[in-house]
Structure 1
Amino acid sequence: MTDSRSLLPSRPASRRLVSSALAALAALATGVLLAGCTSAVGEQSATSGSGSQGPVEGGTLRVAATTDHVPASVFGQSSDVGNTLIGLVYDSLVEYPQDSLDAQPSLATSWEVAEDGRSITLQLRNDVTFHDGRPFTSEDVRFSIETFADPAWAVQVQRTAAAVIGFDTSDPHAITLEFAHPLSNILDLLDIVPIVDSESFPGLKEASTYNGTGPFRFTGWRPGTGMTFERNEDYWKGAPDLEAVDVSVVPDAQAQVAGLRSGQYDLALGVTPRDVETLAQDPKFDVHDFEGATQQQYLGFQLKNRDLQEVRLRQAIAYAVDRERIVEELYRGSAVASGLPWSPSSPAYDEEKGQTYARDVAKAQQLVAELGDVPTLPLQFAAGQPAGETIAQIVQANLEEIGLEVELKPTEFAQMYKQLVGAQFEGLWIFGHTYAQYTPATLTVSAFPFNAAHNASNFVDEQYRADSDASWKVADPASAEAEELFDRVNDHIVDNVWLTDLVTSHPRVVTTSAVHGIDYSKRTELLLDEAWKDQ
């Protein structure tokens, strides 16, 4: 199997000039439409704003985020602020579009996978520097992948990074990676891993320095309050238009909405779907949908809990949950209900099997009756998170209907993440996961809820691990062999139900109509290198 991509040589032209020219041409035709803006009113306002006809340089973008940075899990997609940090400060070797697995060049200009699938050779850009001015080289690629392979960082792609066992860095602008076995998800890894600087790494560990090659420089973190960034004037794609980004931690969704309305914030990451509907009707705001960067909410079962070791109880709970109610009440119809984890675009997506545990109260009650008395089950969820709180209340009501008592246990987000990594939940829990939009093997060998080697439920099954690992080692994830293995993995999830997925949604971000050009990575990170703001 081979795969090769290439970039045009030399430094790209300034995006500011290109964007201005394109904007002028578009204005002569039908007007400029903001990409990703789903509100009809918002689309109109995107061209009106302050009468702007194209990108404007300068200004600070003020962002309201729901969860604060967790330094110990900086690479773990563990918080809104942390994800924003990665998206602004760092680049990866390749970039996936939101809607496909067709990797595009980034810090790597081209690559080729060996015929036996046991190595990949990448050509690297020679015009990139870190924020401190040091040139980017192949040694930085080696260091970054080795960092992700270190279990101390608790990253969800640790097993894939650890399967890279050899590095040829003899050429500073090229690198060959050797694998322990063929890796169907090697490009996933190269998209997910941010390129970090080894020389300033101690500062990263202390959350005092984040030195990347990305469009914005880290300038400070105020724990519990927020994080600040300034533009990288030497960014290899051209300096961003925004002068700075100020991210504030605002856990309360209503406070985010109030801040948008009062002009305190320009962009809010945690607006509830109900408020999104309302704001979409107001010409002062725009709603941006990023459908390829999917996110899932799931209900987990701790198998160290003696009662939950009984698969019939887990099945009863899975049958009882009203996923469609969650879709309608919480997501206002902008989500997909399924008991399997995959995004609809995934090669492993199976609509029929995903409905195996479609709501069936009678069947759930029958299973509970077979079990007899079941003690009260603890149900943890992230405190202050509207999605977790709403889903927890719906699940509690659903389980009461089938004769199960649930004790709701709101838990601080950082503690939830710690329990996820350490597989330390007490009984039931509600949390989100991602990676379902990548090559399927990335989920089953990497994501904490599904990792066949060690997962948050403490579920152990040798056949599940064998099938997951086999799909990981099939070089072509689109092959018939891989498809058969994905089908078997789905059977394991359905039959053993150590967790049950609830809904798949995508980020919906609200901005004022003065904000343009924002984007989201497939990794669910906010991207602002092409963003600008009416002045």
Structure 2
Amino acid sequence: MKNKVLASLIIALIAATTLLSGCGKGTQTGSKKPKTLIYAQGADPRGLDPAYVDDGESAKIIVNVYEGLVKYKPNSTEIEPSLATEWTVSPDGKEYTFKLRQGVKFHDGTPFNADAVVFSVERQLPPKATDDMPYASFTFGPVEKVQKVDDYTVKFILKQPYTPFLANLAMSLAAPIVSPAAVQKYGDKFIENPVGTGPFKFVKWDKGQSVTLAKNEDYWGEKAKVDTVVFKITKENSVRASELITGSVDIIDGVDPNDIKKLEDNKIQIFKGKGMNINYMAFNTSRAPFNDPKLREAVSHAIDRDELVKYLYQGYASVANTYLPDFIPGYNDKVQPYKYDVEKAKALLKEAGKENLEIKMITYSNPRPYNPVNGQKLAEAVQNYLAKVGIKATIEVYPWTEYKQKAAQGEGDILFYGWVGDNGDADNFLSLLDSNEIKSSLNAAKYSNPKVDELLAKARRLPNGEERNNVYKEIQEILAVDAPWLPISNAMDMAAYSPKVKGFTLHPTGAVYLKDVDKE
């Protein structure tokens, strides 16, 4: 009898356990496990207010927190609606009127409306614009004023027709719309406490470590597929690659060509795309010795760019012959920089009385989208070439944020830089040689040529087409002779990601849009 009772108790206990287990499974199915996506990049953002930064590390985070009136279509620089649903342009090309999306809220709960657009733009126009807003003149320089027509209509009035204007409004910097209430609340700390309308909300920034974002549950469009995004700061390329292989991060950028085989052997996915970028060496043309174009020519002849690109980038970059990628309208395929010629370099140095020239070069320590091996390796390779023609060059290496400050202050006779195109327009690259951008620090060479300024202004007024493209071709011819830069390479866009990650791509502008990225 005891055994029968015991057996009955055991059966009852198993049945109850099974029932509870089934209930538990049902509960687990109903409450999805939160998904965290970890993206490792090589440097801290400079800041998270789109009006005050000009670097890719900041932009990658900014595009997930903020939105602009218009945006780029996936994998292209074609324009489509975002916070504006439609727009019209006046026949004279000087007035742009935007109808705004209704029912949108900033992450702080305040409404998005015409007042927010006017606020976001006016703070980057005179007299409110400040010298530490690097993209303000670049983006809004042509704007005479911005007006609220009604709560959901705004009008931009330009000083003159400006063909790149609409494309500029889709850029990840300067153009995004910020919460006026949050800017007023945080003051100069808003750069560390971003509030936009985007698919992710800012959570925290541990300087030098990570930036954390959370899914915006109140987003007006299709909501993000992951719950949390962590932008992890890992300076060393090889360490980022190892973190990806071990699974401690999900996506990395700044992929070193030396790591690609190891990554692929470990079943890591590699994203490869044609890069809309330029990697260059800039001369500080504002003072001696490189205010002398003949000396810039001499140094240009000293560097074997073909060998340099092959050695450093191992087939994942192509030699750049001008200041534009070759697929940008207006690219001049007839232009070549000064060719590698050691004897010519020595002769020009002798002619200038500079056979024993000593110079200082500055560079950055981290990888860049246009230079995945980092600035120090590039500078050391150039240093070796210069030594062969009798130039003694010292190198100072700085973390990216500090490097940007040093370059803006004019440190260094030669500096290493690059650019990732914001919008697919030639003006976006060639404006880096506009003397009006010296103050903003975008003109890293501090180069000034009235003829180049005049031609840039002319091209901005012309409609897209052959006449406009020919102006840009003429500018490239002038720059090839003047040599404020030595163009080095156009890098392939590359990132690496775990097989568990779905839907990831790099946009041609270098932005990383994570709303549609999922993780198994």
Q: TM-score, length-normalised on structure 2? A: 0.85
Alignment coverage as a number of residue pairs: 471
2:502 pairs with 1:526: no
Amino acid at match of 2:351: E
1:74, distance to aligned residue in structure 2 (A):
4.9
The 8 Å contact of residues 299 and 500 in structure 1, kept in 2 or not, is answered as yes
Matches within 5 A, 1:71-470: 71=47, 74-75=50-51, 78-79=54-55, 81-97=57-73, 100-149=76-125, 150-192=129-171, 193-202=175-184, 203=186, 205-206=188-189, 207-283=191-267, 285-291=268-274, 294-353=276-335, 355-372=336-353, 373-385=355-367, 386-422=373-409, 424-435=410-421, 438-445=424-431, 447=432, 450-454=434-438, 455-470=443-458
Aligned equivalent of 1:515, options 485, 498, 501:
501
The 8 Å contact of residues 444 and 452 in structure 1, kept in 2 or not, is answered as no
The 8 Å contact of residues 321 and 399 in structure 1, kept in 2 or not, is answered as yes
The 8 Å contact of residues 245 and 263 in structure 2, kept in 1 or not, is answered as no
Amino acid at match of 1:94: V
Secondary structure, counterpart of 2:110 in structure 1: coil
Secondary structure, counterpart of 1:239 in structure 2: coil
The 8 Å contact of residues 110 and 123 in structure 1, kept in 2 or not, is answered as yes
Secondary structure, counterpart of 2:169 in structure 1: helix
Sequence identity (%): 22
- Residues 391 and 98 of structure 1, relative CA distance in 2, 3 Å threshold: farther
1:359, distance to aligned residue in structure 2 (A):
2.6
Secondary structure, counterpart of 2:509 in structure 1: coil
1:156-199 Cα offsets, whole Å, 9 max, x none, are 35244132122231222222211011111101221111111111
Cα distance in 1 between the residues matched to 2:461 and 2:60: 32
Cα distance in 2 between the residues matched to 1:97 and 1:319: 41
1:101, distance to aligned residue in structure 2 (A):
4.1
- Residues 263 and 469 of structure 1, relative CA distance in 2, 3 Å threshold: same
- Residues 79 and 276 of structure 1, relative CA distance in 2, 3 Å threshold: farther
Amino acid at match of 1:508: M
Amino acid at match of 2:380: Q
Secondary structure, counterpart of 1:151 in structure 2: coil
1:527, distance to aligned residue in structure 2 (A):
0.9
| Correspondence for 1:26 | none
Secondary structure, counterpart of 2:170 in structure 1: helix
Secondary structure, counterpart of 2:123 in structure 1: helix
The 8 Å contact of residues 442 and 472 in structure 1, kept in 2 or not, is answered as no
The 8 Å contact of residues 148 and 155 in structure 1, kept in 2 or not, is answered as no
Pairwise CA RMSD of aligned residues? 2.3
Aligned equivalent of 2:471, options 462, 485, 489:
485
1:210, distance to aligned residue in structure 2 (A):
0.9
1:338, distance to aligned residue in structure 2 (A):
1.5
The 8 Å contact of residues 73 and 154 in structure 1, kept in 2 or not, is answered as no
| Correspondence for 2:5 | none
1:463-496 Cα offsets, whole Å, 9 max, x none, are 111111111222x1x2333123212211221121
1:318, distance to aligned residue in structure 2 (A):
1.8
1:406-425 Cα offsets, whole Å, 9 max, x none, are 11211232222113334x12
Q: Which moved more, 1:69-78 or 1:361-370?
A: 69-78
The 8 Å contact of residues 43 and 366 in structure 2, kept in 1 or not, is answered as no
| Correspondence for 2:24 | none
1:515, distance to aligned residue in structure 2 (A):
0.7
Cα distance in 1 between the residues matched to 2:291 and 2:118: 42
- Residues 382 and 74 of structure 1, relative CA distance in 2, 3 Å threshold: farther
1:94-135 Cα offsets, whole Å, 9 max, x none, are 222466543122222222221111111122211322112222
The 8 Å contact of residues 452 and 464 in structure 1, kept in 2 or not, is answered as no
| Correspondence for 1:63 | 39
Amino acid at match of 1:174: T
Larger Rg belongs to = 2
The 8 Å contact of residues 76 and 507 in structure 2, kept in 1 or not, is answered as no
1:430-486 Cα offsets, whole Å, 9 max, x none, are 1222337532223344x4x55555233232221111111111222x1x233312321
Cα distance in 2 between the residues matched to 1:508 and 1:410: 24
1:76, distance to aligned residue in structure 2 (A):
5.7
The 8 Å contact of residues 72 and 153 in structure 1, kept in 2 or not, is answered as no
- Residues 74 and 273 of structure 1, relative CA distance in 2, 3 Å threshold: farther
Secondary structure, counterpart of 2:300 in structure 1: helix
- Residues 509 and 148 of structure 1, relative CA distance in 2, 3 Å threshold: farther
The 8 Å contact of residues 69 and 84 in structure 2, kept in 1 or not, is answered as yes
Cα distance in 1 between the residues matched to 2:177 and 2:37: 25
1:531, distance to aligned residue in structure 2 (A):
0.5
Q: TM-score, length-normalised on structure 1? A: 0.82
1:84, distance to aligned residue in structure 2 (A):
2.4
Cα distance in 1 between the residues matched to 2:365 and 2:350: 32
The 8 Å contact of residues 58 and 241 in structure 1, kept in 2 or not, is answered as no
The 8 Å contact of residues 73 and 155 in structure 1, kept in 2 or not, is answered as no
The 8 Å contact of residues 334 and 505 in structure 1, kept in 2 or not, is answered as yes
Consecutive unaligned residues in structure 1, runs of 5 or more? 1-55
Secondary structure, counterpart of 2:244 in structure 1: helix
